[in-house]
Amino acid sequence: MGQSEQIIRLWKVKIEAILFQQKCAEALMGEALMSVNLVQSKKSGMMDKTWSVVIQCLRDKRLMEIAKEKVSLERRW
């Protein structure tokens, strides 16, 4: 697995954790597959919040630092 794949996996884990914390985990499936019990305004709000989280995480420099540290440690072994 290359460094870019590791970064993407780490980023996905972070996004999922934040979305679960924000009670937006259902948004991971996409608006079309969300529960039929949710009204459209709730779905739209959840999707808006999800996009906000994604945009914030795209700029996360700490994530890059962690990924570099992990790769560095793996190369030592």
pLDDT band at 77 (very low <50, low <70, confident <90, very high): very low
Q: Average model confidence (pLDDT) for the chain?
A: 79
Instruction: Map out the domains of the chain as residue ranges.
Output: 3-76
Res. 45: pLDDT tops 70? yes
- Quote the tokens at residue 41: 């305004």
User: Any idea what DSSP says for residue 34?
Assistant: S
pLDDT band at 51 (very low <50, low <70, confident <90, very high): confident
How close are the terminal C-alpha atoms of the chain, in Å? 15
pTM: 0.61
Kind and range of the H or E run holding 14: helix 3-21
- For residues 24 and 53, the answer to whether their CB atoms sit within 8 Å is yes
**Percentage, residues of the chain above pLDDT 70:** 73
